[in-house]
Amino acid sequence: MEDKRFYGRRKGKPIKTSRQRLIDELLPRVVFPKPIPDTITDVRTIFGIIPTEVWLEIGFGGGEHVAELAKRYPSVGIIGAEPFMNGVASLLAHLNGSHMKQAVHTNLEEGRTDNVRIWPDDVRPLFPHFPSGVFERIFILYPDPWPKARHAERRFINQKNIPALARLISETGAVYVATDVADYAEWAKEQMDLSGLFQQVHPDTTVPPPDWVPTRYERKGIAAGRHPTYLVFRKKNAIFKK
Ligand SMILES: C[S@@+](CC[C@H](N)C(=O)[O-])C[C@H]1O[C@@H](n2cnc3c(N)ncnc32)[C@H](O)[C@@H]1O
């Protein structure tokens, strides 16, 4: 049987009462449908709008990036996957407009959540349920680097996950990977090359792609003097549209 163990954290500091309320009351309104239908024939139907395209963010951390994308692109459907429940609660607080206020109100901001769906778990079991080519963008931002060689198989960009990403990204779409761990950037490029399925198309990997929204890790890393690498992968031989 395939090894799908998840090695990250599902829980951190105890979740505050106000955040737990968001999980109890708001998450059910924006959660990805469970049980997952065997095959999701039209993924657009899971949103409160009919989105023009659908994007996936894998490992959204505190959710700032998902929340900002959802605001900037109200016609795009965004699925965010994150097994760390403190992070899920943080995304809910962003969507609820209560991130900085410690507010206990639980009124999802009007319209803000129509285009977001949250999968509060490991993304990998979701993959087989989607039809091919559903995502126009997939974001893997500051993935856990697992620096020790003996943990290399835990790195998300690997020969098990890359074929799934290649199946799910559209012919015109792109997989965005950012990291400030130089070895991980090398690893990601090597693994993508090795798969023969993707090509890196972003010319200057030290410069963010246009319209880039920095994540919390990115901001912290830059403040600490680290240097991000931005990689954009398109399917090999894909139609070059955007
Ligand atoms: C280093 S954090 C980066 C968080 C965020 N992207 C940022 O840049 O601020 C990596 C995140 O990926 C999540 N993650 C790791 N494996 C995952 C998986 N299989 N499915 C979904 N999320 C995953 C972890 O829980 C963690 O929150």
pLDDT over 60 (residue 105): no
Higher pLDDT, 178 or 238: 178
Ligand 1 centroid to residue 58 C-alpha, Å = 6
Which residues contact residue 131 at a Cβ distance below 8 angstroms, ignoring those fewer than 6 apart? 39, 40, 41, 43
For range 161-172, the mean pLDDT: 97
Bond from prior residue into 74 cis (ω within 30 degrees of 0): no
Q: Is 79 in the pocket of ligand 1 (CB under 6 A)?
A: no
Percent of the chain with pLDDT over 90: 75
Top-level class of domain 17-235: alpha beta
pLDDT at residue 101 in the model: 57
Examine the residue annotation and report whether 204 is marked as an active-site residue of this protein. no
Ligand 1 centroid to residue 241 C-alpha, Å = 29
pLDDT over 80 (residue 2): no
Between CA 204 and CA 89 the distance in angstroms is 35
Between CA 219 and CA 118 the distance in angstroms is 23
Q: Is 8 in the pocket of ligand 1 (CB under 6 A)?
A: yes
Ligand 1 centroid to residue 83 C-alpha, Å = 8
Catalytic-role residue among 114, 121, 144, 193: 144
pLDDT at residue 207 in the model: 97
239: confidence class by pLDDT, cuts 50, 70, 90? low
Q: Is 60 in the pocket of ligand 1 (CB under 6 A)?
A: yes
pLDDT at residue 1 in the model: 44
Q: Is 68 in the pocket of ligand 1 (CB under 6 A)?
A: no
What atom in ligand 1 is closest to the CA of residue 64? 9
pLDDT at residue 3 in the model: 60
Between CA 6 and CA 29 the distance in angstroms is 26
pLDDT over 60 (residue 38): yes
- Structural domain boundaries of the chain? 17-235
pLDDT at residue 7 in the model: 77
First to last CA, the chain: 39
Q: Is 96 in the pocket of ligand 1 (CB under 6 A)?
A: no
pLDDT at residue 217 in the model: 94
Q: Is 122 in the pocket of ligand 1 (CB under 6 A)?
A: yes
Choosing from 10, 58, 68, 176 the residue with most ligand 1 atoms within 8 A of its CB, the one to mutate for a pocket test is: 58
Percent of the chain with pLDDT over 70: 90
Q: Whose CA is nearest to atom 27 of ligand 1?
A: 61
Q: Is pTM, for the whole model, over 0.85?
A: yes
Task: Kindly report, residue by residue over 184-209, the tens digit of the pLDDT.
Answer: 999 999 999 999 999 999 999 999 99
